[in-house]
Chains A and B, each alone.
Chain A
Amino acid sequence: NAGVTQTPKFRVLKTGQSMTLLCAQDMNHEYMYWYRQDPGMGLRLIHYSVGEGTTAKGEVPDGYNVSRLKKQNFLLGLESAAPSQTSVYFCASSQYTEAFFGQGTRLTVV
């Protein structure tokens, strides 16, 4: 039972490049979340999903897009990366109660 798996674990992008972060969960959870974590800022919610085919904006959605075409996967896209998007990104899933987190993706935009 893998839980929540994020790929990739590390990535360096040049300004203006695009990329997609993949989150996969094998617990049949309805809810999935994408967060970014910056020093001193805690975790900030980017987007979330309450079920297959649904997405909603969180606190800091600008510059990101998401898709949940399959229940087990939640994709986070950066269309044109900016240095301000340098951060550690965490995905999580839950089923009404506690959230389970992936190990994070460290993204650097240069």
Chain B
Amino acid sequence: SQQGEEDPQALSIQEGENATMNCSYKTSINNLQWYRQNSGRGLVHLILIRSNEREKHSGRLRVTLDTSKKSSSLLITASRAADTASYFCATEQTGANNLFFGTGTRLTVIP
């Protein structure tokens, strides 16, 4: 499979805590993206990090990328109940215009 793998598969935290989820992938990439999916809905783009970047921030989101380990992490700080959703990483392979998704992390934030 060309899919990435997210870890953990499920995560449950209290509101206000930080949530960290990880993504590993298999091939060289142009960029790595994180998406969010609320139950039964389409995916929404959160953040994109290019292969020559190591860290990126957007609001309460922090993404890191380690191309030597073929891995990325997404940190959501000061979580809110509204952050409850599934989170997916997606990779665009080098030299291609495809977009492959991982298996997702289901995040539950308890009020």
On whether the two chains bind one another, the answer is: yes
> Which residues of A sit under 8 angstroms from B48, Cβ to Cβ?
97-98
CB-contacts of B1-17 with A (<8 A): 1-3, 6
Tell me, yes or no, whether A92 is within 8 Å of chain B by CB.
yes
Mask for B53-73, Cβ within 8 A of A = 1, else 0?
000000000000000000000
A67–B3 Cα gap in the complex (Å)?
Answer: 24
Mask for A67-99, Cβ within 8 A of B = 1, else 0?
000000000000000000000001010100111
A90 and B97 in contact (CB under 8 A), knowing A42-B102, A42-B103? Answer: no
A42 and B88 in contact (CB under 8 A), knowing A90-B42, A98-B33, A101-B42? Answer: yes
A35–B88 Cα gap in the complex (Å)?
Answer: 14
> Which residues of A sit under 8 angstroms from B97, Cβ to Cβ?
30-31, 48, 50
A40–B6 Cα gap in the complex (Å)?
Answer: 11
> Which residues of B sit under 8 angstroms from A56, Cβ to Cβ?
98
> Which residues of B sit under 8 angstroms from A45, Cβ to Cβ?
2, 98-101
> Which residues of B sit under 8 angstroms from A42, Cβ to Cβ?
3, 6, 88, 101-104
Give the size category of A's interface with B. Answer: 20 to 34
> Which residues of A sit under 8 angstroms from B40, Cβ to Cβ?
104
Task: State whether A33 touches B99 (Cβ < 8 A).
Answer: yes
Select the residue from A4, A97, A99, A101 with max chain B CB neighbours within 10 A. Answer: A99
Nearest Cβ in chain A — how far from B2, in angstroms? 6
> Which residues of B sit under 8 angstroms from A33, Cβ to Cβ?
98-99
Task: State whether B2 touches A59 (Cβ < 8 A).
Answer: yes
- The 8 Å CB contact of A92, one of B2, B31, B99, is B99
What are 5 contact pairs spanning A and B, CB under 8 A? A42-B3, A42-B102, A56-B98, A59-B1, A59-B100
10 residue pairs, one from A and one from B, having the closest CB atoms: A101-B42, A98-B45, A42-B103, A43-B101, A101-B43, A50-B97, A103-B42, A42-B104, A42-B101, A31-B97
Q: Enumerate chain B interface residues (CB-CB to A < 8 A).
A: 1-3, 6, 31, 33, 35, 40-45, 48, 88, 90, 97-104
